[in-house]
């Protein structure tokens, strides 16, 4: 294995294959027997070992290949588009422990058929005898050149069809025309690549299937649909390779033939260069100098990759200053040349740089001479030539044949040091490429250490890249770039973000009004599909009510417009131009709950919907009436505002009073010589908006027939984006959609509402990469992802909780340059990444909504308006259609919607469950269905003592309730009094079996008894007394159960004292002053005084100190049973499709284990076959015996028990 001596990302392993191969795949391994391996690497290739190119993907981004995960396993990567090269380099970017690798390259020998062109020669194929008529085409070739312009391939036909491949300013243009008509143009243009004049071989693959066109240049893909109506290519004139005889032909824009080499041209299976070299066909002709070999020579370039990279070239220090080189760059600033003159000082030197894209030459001498050339920009990435000549008479600066000369007498003496590309004390050095460097008329070899000192410059290759081709900026964003990266200018596009992917506007008026402080009508811009292809446009937003917002879309015909001189039916045509196009209008209309548009026709002796010749021929293509309108279905609509489709009438024709003049259709159809009108709202949105108006029967300009139309703006209400709502009521419930596509940029927008603290809302995975959006610790949204650089977490911590059961908006985006997130209208957060170091997001699984892909860490709550890349994902529809049944329901419906809590308990929503808060009720239990009571004897008492802080205020005791059951006509149910017992309010059982409320709060003692209705409440049944005070305490109402109440109003002045001052005690059952034998006997429950619940507090654990139970009594339910709600129906997750592969692996593992155990068992038997038991009759007790006789006695043998006899001497 190869192990790099230095561990950094600049190391590489290069391989010489001996000749050029078509490389199809590569494989890698780590070092055997170790944990040293490469996990990711770049692949580079070359034909000459000097100019190297990195393998890029279909987006023009360097492809990061997956390496190994251990030291022994082989990992093979198949190239999507094979490359042709002799030399390959593996450039490790990430590794484990040490850079170690074994490599293998797969491919086959490349057989070239090459032709070189010098700019005046070409190859011509005559198609007049063998025309091409195809619906599918393929063109493959390779080329290399050092010229930015030239025609590579051209073919045409007599019907105007052509195929063109040409170089222009370093770009490769492919043009195709399959046929044009008077109204539709068939020309299609694709820019396939840039900076292709680099003297490297470039691969071109072009495939077409009818209207589907794929252009691939060096693996950079462009997929488009061809323009026009036709899809067959007709060629019957000539095919040219390398140039054309004249440039005045369809599609050709450059005026140069190709200079360079072309290789292996395959056009629809015809090997054109092979046939041309063979020279056997009379249809093939070579014109001018054409060679079947590639002798193109080019000076090797060098790259300055950093602002400190430069060359120090030693000159001879004599004669005038002469420097010349070619350069290419995208940077707008940088130092190209610095030369200190003899007797050096910084003010006695020559500095050549460019600033803000303009060339500037400064000769800083005593005169501080400045010579500048601002004729054009030099940051286009193309090669430009620079030369400077300075002597004692003049300064001559030439850039691309643009010459600037300053004739002044100078005292010049050249120095010996020429700094190319930068200088030690200058931080803004040149980043780009150079070639053909000449100093003092000598060609400089950058590899010559005698005269050149290289500081971080790369010799032999030009590392400049065009990151703006194809344009990574979306929605018309303008791309500009420098050496390291690209930047998108989104000004004027209506979009924002690093790639102009996210819309700068809301998706609807309803969404706009959520974040607007303007009431009523407001001008706004909306983008109905967000980051999708539809364009933003201006509207008027009007808030009709708190829940309904109206959207008004205007057009160019909203004023009254006269129609005169159009007598034939429908001869007047008015096209309605809205502020946006029909796709945008359709999106708004289809999402709206309702739409309408007011339409009105004014007439003077002019008919509107009167049937022509009194015949209404439904099958005729001729006009059926004199006027009609056309909607987005492009069908004539023969009805008017206020009427129904198909009625053929105006509004008056459907009303009981009818129309003017006895007309059965419209007022205008009565042909009255005075102005009449028909108008109303068109409300069937499936036909709206009105895009055309047709009228007739307006006579000539000289008669009295006249018409006029008025069409108001389109009005739509509502937005079903917010109606696409589902509720996740199970933590493992999910809805799955297609994989999230975000190779260049992708975004996800949704709103959620929940009370949970944590949960995964969105999850999508690939082999390594993933994205995840989750709620974390109730106030944080996390956007987690991995694109090969490890897990990155982008978090936003909200100033308030996000689980407050209100709607919150989440918008996340991932693109090539950054990850971005915004929550509600809070400031956005982002994390930037190097666009050259990350790879495209590689996701392969389903986009899972509601939980992780393994159904763990799920989210419970509501979600609505889920949009991915501007497209609404129909969560609601999937549930309604039964595609998802487990744990998800339509709408935002929580568990509390059914009011499961009893007795006024507050339901706390959990969506997967709920809890009942019984704090402000006299009940307890899971659902506030358990009574809290106490069973009392006559001498029992519950005392509740108020302190200064907790005590009732002057406005308290407006409401009290107490339940009881007893058979004794006596006893205090409830009493509140002050400490001196001078003021009190008592609720007690009177001696008639009723209830009495007695009070003395300052004005006089009063009492209120329940009316005698022949009912004895001391019947042992449960009753409830409710006492209410109102009218500033002057009116009291006493009611038992649902019987008629007793109401009494006291004659107390407004300034009278009706307040129980400084309440101290609350007694239940009896007080501490009455005769204990007169106490209450029975059960008291459901005690409440305003927001105080004495019995509930008395039986909590631990019991508060301010409550006394005398004697200690137990809680009692007073004969009630606790009431509960039935449990939810048990749901189970549907079983997925069996994974037969895993099942096969499982059974294979079981069989392997059984087989292994059998082998082990057989081996064990084999080793034990000669190892049976061997019994002997030898004595085994000798080791513990003193003599032989004793040993026999202790003996253990295999013989049966034998009586041991002893002999005794007496």
Closest alpha carbon to 195 in 474, 490, 487, 481: 481
The confidence score (pLDDT) of residue 164 equals 96
CA distance 935 to 753: 46
246 CB-near residues (< 8 Å, 6+ apart): none
Distance CA 669, CA 666 (A): 5
Q: Give domain 720-890's CATH architecture.
A: Sandwich (2.60)
Contact of 601 with 668, CB cutoff 8 Å: yes
Task: Count Cα atoms within 13 angstroms, Cβ side, for 911.
Answer: 32
CATH class of 933-1116: mainly beta
pLDDT at residue number 1076: 74
Mean pLDDT of 933-961: 80
Helix (H, G, I), strand (E, B) or coil at 514: helix
Is the bond leading into 420 cis (omega within 30 degrees of zero)?
A: no
* Residue reference for tokens 């917010």: 722
**How do residues 353-387 score in pLDDT, each as one tens digit?**
654 444 444 444 444 444 454 445 788 888 899 98
Separation of alpha carbons 25 and 65, rounded Å: 11
CA distances 892 to 596, 734, 1129, Å, are: 29, 16, 19
Cβ-Cβ contacts under 8 Å for 1153 (sequence gap 6 or more): none
Contact call for residues 608 and 618 (beta carbons, < 8 A): no
Helices (H), 822-969: 875-880
Average pLDDT over residues 801-823: 94
Measured between its terminal Cα atoms, the distance across the chain in Å is 97
Q: What is the 3-state secondary structure (H, E, C) of 1015-1030?
A: CCCCCCCCEEEEEEEE
CA distance 263 to 271: 10
What are the structural domain ranges in the chain?
2-109, 114-291, 302-459, 471-500, 550-717, 720-890, 933-1116, 1176-1210
Specify whether the CB–CB gap between 862 and 911 falls below 8 A.
yes
CATH of the structural domain 471-500, one choice from 2.40.100.10, 2.10.25.10, 3.40.50.1100, 3.40.50.300? 2.10.25.10
Greater model confidence, 434 or 721: 434
Q: Tokens in use for 716?
A: 């739509």
Q: Which CATH class is domain 550-717?
A: mainly beta
From CA 620, how far away is CA 608, in angstroms rounded?
19
Q: Residue 773: pLDDT above 60?
A: yes
Q: 1131: pLDDT confidence band, cut at 50, 70 and 90? A: confident
Q: Return the exposure string of 147-184: e unless at least 16 CB atoms fall within 10 Å of the residue's CB, then b.
A: bbbbbbbbbbbebebbbbbbbeebbbbbbbbbbbeeee
Topology of the domain covering 302-459 = Jelly Rolls (2.60.120)
Q: Residue 846: is its pLDDT beyond 70?
A: yes
How far apart are the C-alpha atoms of 693 and 695, rounded to whole Å?
Answer: 7
- What are φ and ψ of residue 1156, in 5° steps? -65, -45
Rounded mean pLDDT of 208-232? 92
Three-class secondary structure of residue 203 per DSSP: strand
Query: What's the alpha-carbon Rg for the chain, to the nearest Å?
Result: 47
Element (H, E) at 1094: helix 1094-1098
Indicate the pairing of strand 888-890 with strand 745-753: unpaired
Q: Give pLDDT, residue 1052.
A: 85
Mean pLDDT of the residues in the chain: 88
| Least confident range of 856-865, 910-919, 995-1004, 1199-1208 | 1199-1208
What is the C-alpha to C-alpha distance for residues 850 and 1106, in angstroms, rounded to an integer?
49
CA distances from 1017 to 276, 997, 1048, 1116 (A): 119, 15, 21, 20
Q: Which residues contact 1077 (CB under 8 A, 6 or more apart)?
A: 938, 939
Beta 122-126 vs 284-287: how paired, if at all? antiparallel
- CA 1033-1035-1038 angle, to 5 degrees, is 110
Torsion of CA 714, 717, 719, 720, to 10 degrees: -110
315: which residues sit within 8 A by CB, 6+ positions away?
414, 415, 416, 417, 418, 439, 440
* CA distance linking residue 737 with residue 877, whole number of Å: 12
Residue 638 C-beta-side C-alpha neighbours within 13 Å:
18
Q: Do domains 720-890 and 933-1116 have the same CATH topology?
A: yes
Q: How far apart are CA 1032 and CA 955, in angstroms?
A: 8
Beta carbons of 1080 and 971 less than 8 angstroms apart: yes
The pLDDT value recorded for residue 280 is 80
**Omega before residue 470 within 30° of 0, cis:** yes
Chosen CATH of 2-109 out of 2.60.120.260, 3.30.1490.20, 3.40.50.720, 3.30.930.10: 2.60.120.260
Residue 1205 neighbours by CB distance under 10 Å: 6
Q: Per mean pLDDT, which of 61-75, 365-379, 750-764, 1119-1133 is the most reliable?
A: 750-764
The continuous run of DSSP H or E covering 636 comes out as strand 636-637
Given this model, what pLDDT does residue 1183 score? 56
CB neighbours of residue 294 within 10 Å? 16
At 660 the three-state DSSP class reads helix
Q: Average pLDDT in the 252-260 region?
A: 95
Tell me the average pLDDT across 409-423.
83
Q: Find residue 217's DSSP bridge partners.
A: 204, 220
E strand or H helix at 1097, and its extent? helix 1094-1098
For the beta sheet containing 759-765, the strands, ordered from the edge strand earlier in sequence to the opposite edge, are: 735-737, 847-849, 759-765, 770-776, 780-786, 791-797
Angle at 934 between CA 932 and CA 940, to 5 degrees: 155
Fold adopted by 114-291: Jelly Rolls (2.60.120)
281 Cβ contact list (under 8 Å, min separation 6)? 275
Query: Of 283-297, 359-373, 592-606, 1131-1145, where does mean pLDDT reach its minimum?
Result: 359-373
Taking the C-alpha atoms of residue 976 and residue 1000, their distance in angstroms, rounded to an integer, is 11
Q: How far apart are CA 1156 and CA 1161, in angstroms?
A: 9
* Contact yes or no for 399/388 (Cβ under 8 A): no
Q: What pLDDT is attached to residue 1051?
A: 85
Q: Between β-strands 780-786 and 384-390, what pairing exists: parallel, antiparallel or unpaired?
A: unpaired
DSSP structure class, residue 586? H
pLDDT single digits (tens) 779-788: 999 999 998 7
> Is residue 539 a contact partner of residue 553, using CB atoms and an 8 Å limit?
yes
Residue 1 has pLDDT above 50, yes or no: yes
User: H helices of 1022-1116, where?
Assistant: 1094-1098
DSSP letter, residue 611:
B
Evaluate if residue 1138 carries a pLDDT over 60: no
Among 43-57, 279-293, 577-591, 1149-1163, which range has the highest average pLDDT?
A: 577-591
Q: Determine how many CB atoms are found less than 10 A away from the CB of residue 459.
A: 15
Q: What is the pLDDT of residues 296-338, one digit of tens each?
A: 777 888 999 999 999 999 988 888 889 999 999 999 888 888 8
**Residues 285 and 124 sit within 8 Å (Cβ to Cβ):** yes
Does position 509 have pLDDT exceeding 90, yes or no?
A: yes
pLDDT at 702 over 70: yes
pLDDT of residue 360: 45
- Evaluated on CA atoms 755, 758, 759, 765, the torsion sign reads positive
Query: How confident is the model at residue 1142, as a pLDDT?
Result: 59
Tell me the average pLDDT across 969-993: 91
Q: What is the 3-state secondary structure (H, E, C) of 229-271?
A: CCCCEEECCEEEECCCCCCCCCCCCCCCECEEEEEEEEECCEE
Nearest CA to 964 among 1084, 1142, 1046, 1080? 1084
Which residue in 1094, 1098, 1097 sits closest to 1109, CA to CA?
Answer: 1098
Q: At 837, is the pLDDT very low, low, confident or very high (cuts 50, 70, 90)?
A: low
Q: Is pLDDT above 50 for 1202?
A: no
Residue whose structure tokens are 């897990």? 791
Question: Using CA atoms, how far apart are residues 336 and 946, in angstroms rounded to an integer?
Answer: 89
């Amino acid at each position: 294995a190869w192990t790099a001596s230095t561990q950094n990302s600049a190391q590489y392993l290069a391989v010489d294959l001996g000749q050029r191969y078509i490389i199809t795949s590569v494989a890698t391994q780590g070092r055997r027997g170790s944990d040293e391996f490469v996990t990711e690497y770049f692949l580079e290739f070359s034909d000459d070992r000097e100019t190297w190119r990195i393998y890029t993907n279909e987006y023009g981004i360097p492809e990061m290949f997956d390496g190994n995960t251990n030291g022994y396993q082989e990992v093979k990567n198949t190239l999507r588009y094979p490359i042709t090269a002799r030399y390959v380099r593996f450039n490790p970017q990430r590794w484990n422990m040490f850079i170690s690798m074994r490599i293998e390259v797969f491919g086959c020998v490349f057989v070239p058929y090459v032709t070189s062109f010098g700019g005046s020669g070409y190859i011509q194929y005559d198609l007049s005898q063998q025309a091409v008529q195809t619906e599918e085409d393929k063109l493959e070739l390779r080329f290399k050149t050092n010229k930015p312009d030239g025609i590579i391939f051209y073919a045409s036909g007599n019907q105007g069809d052509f195929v063109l491949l040409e170089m222009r300013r370093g770009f490769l243009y492919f043009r195709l025309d399959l046929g044009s008509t008077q109204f539709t143009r068939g020309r299609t243009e694709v820019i396939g690549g840039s900076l292709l004049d680099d003297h490297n071989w470039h691969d071109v693959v072009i495939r077409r299937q009818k209207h589907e066109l794929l252009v691939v240049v060096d693996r950079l893909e462009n997929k488009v649909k061809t323009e026009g109506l036709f899809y067959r290519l007709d060629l019957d004139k000539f095919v040219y390779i390398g140039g054309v005889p004249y440039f005045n032909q369809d599609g050709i824009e450059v005026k140069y033939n190709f200079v360079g080499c072309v290789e292996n041209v395959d056009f629809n299976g015809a090997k054109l260069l092979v046939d041309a070299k063979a020279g056997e066909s009379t249809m093939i002709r070579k014109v001018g100098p054409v060679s079947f070999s590639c002798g193109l020579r080019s000076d090797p370039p060098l790259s300055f990759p950093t602002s400190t990279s430069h060359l120090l070239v030693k000159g001879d220090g004599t004669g005038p200053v002469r420097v010349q080189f070619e350069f290419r760059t995208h940077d707008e600033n940088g130092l190209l040349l610095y030369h200190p003159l003899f007797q050096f000082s910084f003010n006695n030197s020559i500095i050549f740089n460019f600033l803000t894209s303009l060339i500037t030459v400064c000769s800083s001498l005593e005169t501080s001479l400045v010579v500048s050339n601002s004729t054009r920009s030099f940051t286009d990435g193309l090669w430009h030539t620079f030369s400077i000549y300075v002597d004692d008479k003049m300064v001559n600066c030439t850039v691309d044949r643009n010459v600037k000369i300053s004739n002044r007498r100078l005292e010049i003496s050249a120095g010996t040091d020429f700094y190319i590309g930068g200088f030690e004390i200058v931080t803004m050095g040149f980043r780009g490429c150079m070639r053909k460097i000449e100093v003092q008329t000598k060609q400089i070899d950058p590899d010559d250490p005698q005269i050149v000192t290289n500081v971080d410059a790369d010799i032999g290759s030009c590392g400049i890249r065009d990151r703006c081709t194809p344009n990574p900026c979306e929605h018309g964003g303008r791309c500009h770039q420098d050496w390291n990266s690209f930047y998108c200018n989104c000004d004027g596009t209506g979009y924002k973000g690093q790639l102009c992917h996210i819309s700068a506007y809301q998706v609807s008026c309803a969404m706009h009004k959520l974040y607007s402080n303007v009431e009523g009508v407001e001008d706004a811009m909306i983008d109905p599909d967000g980051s999708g292809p539809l364009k933003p446009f201006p509207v008027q937003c009007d808030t009709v009510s708190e829940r309904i917002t109206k959207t008004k879309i205007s057009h160019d015909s909203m004023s009254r417009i006269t129609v005169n001189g159009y007598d034939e039916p429908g001869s007047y045509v008015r096209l309605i131009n809205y502020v946006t196009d029909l796709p945008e209008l359709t999106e708004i209309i289809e999402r709206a709950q309702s739409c309408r548009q007011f339409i009105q026709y004014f007439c003077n002796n002019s008919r509107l919907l009167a049937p022509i010749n009194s015949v209404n021929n439904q099958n005729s293509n001729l006009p059926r009436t004199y006027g009609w309108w056309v909607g987005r279905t492009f069908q004539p609509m023969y009805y008017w505002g206020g009427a129904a489709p198909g009625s053929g009438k105006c509004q008056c024709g459907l009303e009981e009073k009818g129309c003017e003049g006895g007309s059965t259709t419209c007022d205008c159809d009565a042909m009255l010589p005075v102005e009449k009108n028909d108008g109303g709202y068109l409300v069937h949105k499936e036909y709206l908006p009105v895009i055309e108006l047709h009228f007739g029967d307006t006579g000539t300009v000289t008669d009295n027939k006249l018409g006029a139309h008025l069409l108001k703006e389109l009005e739509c209400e509502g937005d079903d984006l917010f109606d696409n709502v589902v509720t996740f009521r199970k933590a493992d419930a999910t809805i799955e959609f297609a994989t999230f596509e975000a190779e260049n940029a992708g975004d996800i927008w949704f709103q959620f509402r929940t009370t949970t603290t944590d949960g995964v809302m969105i999850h999508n995975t690939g082999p390594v990469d993933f994205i995840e959006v989750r709620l974390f610790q109730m106030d944080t949204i996390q956007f987690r992802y991995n694109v090969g650089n490890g897990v990155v977490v982008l978090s936003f911590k909200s100033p308030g909780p996000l689980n407050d059961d209100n709607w919150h908006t989440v918008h996340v985006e991932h693109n090539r340059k950054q990850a971005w997130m915004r929550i509600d209208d809070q400031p956005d957060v982002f994390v930037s990444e190097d666009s050259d170091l990350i790879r495209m997001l590689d996701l392969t699984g389903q986009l899972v909504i509601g939980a992780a892909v393994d159904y763990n860490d799920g989210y419970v709550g509501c979600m609505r308006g889920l949009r991915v890349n501007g497209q609404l994902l129909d969560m609601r529809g999937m549930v309604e259609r039964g595609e998802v049944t487990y744990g998800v329901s339509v709408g935002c419906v929580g568990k509390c919607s059914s009011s499961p809590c009893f007795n006024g308990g507050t339901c706390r929503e959990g969506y997967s469950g709920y809890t009942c808060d019984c704090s402000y009720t006299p009940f307890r239990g899971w659902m506030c269905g358990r009574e809290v009571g106490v069973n009392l004897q006559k001498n029992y008492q519950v005392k509740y003592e108020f302190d200064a802080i907790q005590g009732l205020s002057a406005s308290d005791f407006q409401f009290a309730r107490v339940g009881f059951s007893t058979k004794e006509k006596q006893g205090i149910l409830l009493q509140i009094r002050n400490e001196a017992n001078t003021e009190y309010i008592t609720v007690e059982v009177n001696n008639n079996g009723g209830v009495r409320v007695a009070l003395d709060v300052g004005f006089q003692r009063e009492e209120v008894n329940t009316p005698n209705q022949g009912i004895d409440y001391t019947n042992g049944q449960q009753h409830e007394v409710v006492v209410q005070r109102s009218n500033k305490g002057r009116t009291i109402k006493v009611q038992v159960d649902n019987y008629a109440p007793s109401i009494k109003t006291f004659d107390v002045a407004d300034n009278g004292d009706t307040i129980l001052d400084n309440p101290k005690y609350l007694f239940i059952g009896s007080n501490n002053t009455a005769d204990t034998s007169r106490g209450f006997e029975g059960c008291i429950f459901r005690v409440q005084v305003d927001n105080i619940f004495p019995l509930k507090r008395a039986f909590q654990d631990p019991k508060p100190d301010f409550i006394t139970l005398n004697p200690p009594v137990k809680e009692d339910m007073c004969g009630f049973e606790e009431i509960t709600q039935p449990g939810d129906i048990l749901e189970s997750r549907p079983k997925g499709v069996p994974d037969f592969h895993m099942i096969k692996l499982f059974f294979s593992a079981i069989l392997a284990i059984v087989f292994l155990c059998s082998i082990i068992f057989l081996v064990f038997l084999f080793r034990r076959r000669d190892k049976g038991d061997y019994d002997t009759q030898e004595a085994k007790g000798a080791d513990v015996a003193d003599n032989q006789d004793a040993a026999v006695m202790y003996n253990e043998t295999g013989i049966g028990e034998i009586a041991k006899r002893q002999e005794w001497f007496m």
